[in-house]
């Protein structure tokens, strides 16, 4: 379930409408790279055609192509989310998203990366303290971002007790 949630956020985050910062290789050149290359998998993700099997196959390529992945915020976001959602390389994925927020702080994926980090640390690692840190960073750095209401709600949940957390979720569900 968590994987589906992360993948849906990923697809929305990495929509095709973004212009590329650096044109590393043309689509024609990408075709010649074949179905087993980092750029092939990044292109499949970008086009929204990557299957779960292809995402599994992509993980080792994303780890091996560290220097390429770190050249663009979009690559960092794509590879980071794919790696975080699997058993092979979640630490690389976390590092890619953290690196994105530091190297490309003004990129549109930076606040989204902070939100993904907060969600991962909270739900997967059970580390509310680190999750809270990422949420506070998002709120402080991007006070006008569309994720701000969600970040504030999650921060409130992180800082409340278990009973308050249940009540907040109940209230949220009743308002939907």
Domain boundary among 106, 122, 143: 106
Same domain, 63 and 143: no
What is the domain extent for residue 12? 1-106
- Asked whether the beta carbons of 54 and 27 are under 8 A apart, the reply is no
Same domain, 102 and 112: no
Check if the beta carbon of residue 78 is closer than 8 Å to that of residue 10.
yes
Tokens representing 12? 């929305």
Query: Is residue 9 located within the same domain as residue 61?
Result: yes
Q: Would you tell me how many other CB atoms lie within 10 Å of the CB of residue 161?
A: 8
92 and 176 within one domain: no
Domain match, 153 and 165 both: yes
DSSP 14-44: T-TTSPPSS--S-HHHHHHH-SSSHHHHHHH
Distance CA 19, CA 24 (A): 13
Examine the fold and report which residue of 84, 106, 128 is the final residue of a domain before the chain moves on: 106
d(CA 74, CA 108): 9
Number of Cβ within a 10 Å radius of residue 172: 11
60 and 15, same structural domain?
yes
E strands of the chain, at which residues? none
The total number of structural domains in the chain stands at 2
Each of the 176 residues of the chain gets a pLDDT tens digit; together they read 344 434 444 444 444 444 333 334 433 344 345 667 899 999 999 999 999 999 999 999 999 999 999 999 999 999 999 999 988 779 999 999 999 999 999 999 999 999 999 999 999 999 999 999 999 999 999 999 999 999 998 898 888 767 676 776 677 677 76
If asked whether residues 102 and 156 sit together in one domain, one would say: no
Element (H, E) at 80: helix 73-84
Whole-model pTM?
0.74
Same domain? 73 vs 87 = yes
Q: Are residues 99 and 121 in the same domain?
A: no
Where is the domain boundary, 70, 91, 106?
A: 106
């Amino acid at each position: 379930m968590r994987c589906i949630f992360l993948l849906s956020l990923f697809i929305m985050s990495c929509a095709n409408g973004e212009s590329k910062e650096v044109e590393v290789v043309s689509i024609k050149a990408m075709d010649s790279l074949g179905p087993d290359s980092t750029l092939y998998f990044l292109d499949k993700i970008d086009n929204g055609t990557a299957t779960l099997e292809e995402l599994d196959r992509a993980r080792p390529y994303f780890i091996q192509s560290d220097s390429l992945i770190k050249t663009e915020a979009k690559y960092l976001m794509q590879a980071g989310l794919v790696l975080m959602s699997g058993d092979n390389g979640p630490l690389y994925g976390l590092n890619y998203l953290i690196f994105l927020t530091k190297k490309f702080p003004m990129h549109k994926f930076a606040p989204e990366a902070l939100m993904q980090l907060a969600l991962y640390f909270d739900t997967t690692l059970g580390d509310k303290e680190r999750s809270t840190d990422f949420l506070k960073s998002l709120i402080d750095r991007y006070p006008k971002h569309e994720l701000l209401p969600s970040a504030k709600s999650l921060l409130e949940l992180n800082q409340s007790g278990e009973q308050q957390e249940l009540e907040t979720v109940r209230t949220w569900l009743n308002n939907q």
